[in-house]
Amino acid sequence: MYERQRKEMVEKYVVAKGITDEKVIAAMRKVPRHLFVEAAMRHQAYLDKSLPIGFGQTISHPTTVACMSQLLELSGNERILEIGTGSGYQAAVLAEMGVKVYSLERIADLARRTQRLFDELGYYTIGTRIGDGTLGWTAHAPYDRIIVTAASPDIPEGLLKQLADKGRMIIPVGEKTEQKLMIITRDTEEYHILEDYTRKFVPLIGKEGWTL
Ligand code: SAM
C-alpha cells in the first residue's frame, strides 16, 4: 500500500533535495511512513510535511530525516543512540540501514505505542526505553553515533561522554524558535563542532534540555 506515493516522495523530495547516500534512499523507499502517523493523516504521509502524532509531538519532515540520516555517515555496523523516539519513523529508517538503534522517549504512552508498532513491523534491532534522553543511556554506551531529534539549548554533557572515540553526533542546538543542526565529532578527548542549516524542531525537555 502507498508504494507508488512512497517512491514518488523519495524522488520528488529526498533525491531532489540532494541526498546521495544510497542506503538512506533505499531505506526511505522501504519504511511505510503512513503507519507512523495518525490514521486520519495517512493521505498526507508521503508529502514533505511534519505531521502531528499525538501528545503534542510531531513526526519530522521526510527531508529532515533523510538529511540527518545522511549526516550520520553510516556504514551499517554502527550502534546508535537516538533521543526522541516519537513516532519511530527515524529509528525505522536507521534500522533499515542495518544499524542497531537504542532509542529514548520521555512520553511513556507514546513510547509504548511506538514499541508496539516496532513489534508489529518486525523492527527487532531497535531497543527502546522511557526516560530523559538528555542524560543518555549509559547501559549501552559508548555509541558510534548519537542523533537528537528535538531541539536543545546546549549540547548535553552526558551525551558527549557517551559518544565513542571517532564517533559522530547530530543535534539541533539553539533557541526554542529555531536551531542550527550541529555535527559533533570526537577525537579522543577533543570534540569538533560543525554547523549545518537552521531548522525548527520541537523542544528537548529534560535535565540538560529545556524545562517544561
Ligand atoms: N524521531 C522522531 C520521529 O521520527 O518521529 C521525531 C519525534 S519529535 C520531532 C521529538 C521527540 O522527542 C518527541 O517525541 C518528544 O517527546 C521527544 N523528547 C523531547 N525531549 C526528550 C527527552 N529529554 N528525552 C527523550 N525524548 C524527548
Q: Is the pLDDT of residue 147 over 90?
A: yes
User: What is the model's pTM?
Assistant: 0.96
Q: Is the pLDDT of residue 116 over 80?
A: yes
What pLDDT does residue 206 have? 94
Q: How far apart are CA 6 and CA 34, in angstroms?
A: 9
Q: Is 84 in the pocket of ligand 1 (CB under 6 A)?
A: yes
Q: Is 70 in the pocket of ligand 1 (CB under 6 A)?
A: no
Q: What is the best residue among 58, 64, 202 to mutate for testing ligand 1's pocket, by most ligand atoms within 8 Å of CB?
A: 202
Non-local (6+) Cβ contacts of 79 within 8 A are: 99, 100, 102, 140, 143, 144, 145
Q: Is 118 in the pocket of ligand 1 (CB under 6 A)?
A: no
Q: Is residue 171 part of a domain?
A: yes
What pLDDT does residue 197 have? 75
Beta strands in the chain (DSSP E): 51-54, 57-59, 79-83, 100-105, 126-130, 143-148, 163-174, 179-187, 190-199
Closest by Cα among 204, 208, 202, 201 to 67? 201
Q: Is residue 19 part of a domain?
A: yes
Selected catalytic residue, list 50, 60, 69, 87: 60
Q: Mean per-residue pLDDT for 130-157?
A: 97
Q: Is residue 209 part of a domain?
A: no
User: The domain that contains 135 carries what CATH number?
Assistant: 3.40.50.150
Q: Is the pLDDT of residue 125 over 90?
A: yes
CB 80 within 8 A of CB 147: yes
Q: Is residue 208 part of a domain?
A: no
Of all atoms in ligand 1, which is nearest to the CA of residue 82? 1
**Using 50, 70 and 90 to split pLDDT, how confident is the model at 62?**
very high
Domains held by the chain: number: 1
Please tell me which residue, 212 or 93, carries the higher pLDDT value.
Answer: 93
Torsion of CA 60, 62, 64, 65, to 10 degrees: 90
Separation of CA 84 and ligand 1 centre (Å)? 3
Percent of the chain with pLDDT over 70: 100
Residue 35 carries which side chain, given as an amino acid letter?
L
**What residues make up the domain containing 108?**
3-199
Closest by Cα among 64, 68, 66 to 82? 68
What pLDDT does residue 212 have? 78
Q: Is 57 in the pocket of ligand 1 (CB under 6 A)?
A: yes
Q: Tell me how far CA of residue 152 lies from CA of 67, 107, 121, 138, in angstroms.
A: 18, 17, 30, 19
Active-site annotation holds for 60: yes
Of all atoms in ligand 1, which is nearest to the CA of residue 202? 9
The tens digit of pLDDT for each residue in 21-37 reads: 999 999 999 999 999 99
Q: Is the pLDDT of residue 201 over 90?
A: no
Q: Is the pLDDT of residue 64 over 80?
A: yes
Q: Is residue 207 part of a domain?
A: no
Q: Is residue 99 part of a domain?
A: yes
What pLDDT does residue 136 have? 98
Residue-by-residue DSSP string for 112-125 = HHHHHHHHHHT-TT
CB 209 within 8 A of CB 149: no
What pLDDT does residue 202 have? 86
Q: Is the pLDDT of residue 199 over 90?
A: no
Q: Is 179 in the pocket of ligand 1 (CB under 6 A)?
A: no
Q: Is residue 112 part of a domain?
A: yes
Q: Is residue 211 part of a domain?
A: no
Residue 163 carries which side chain, given as an amino acid letter?
L
Q: Mean per-residue pLDDT for 181-197?
A: 93
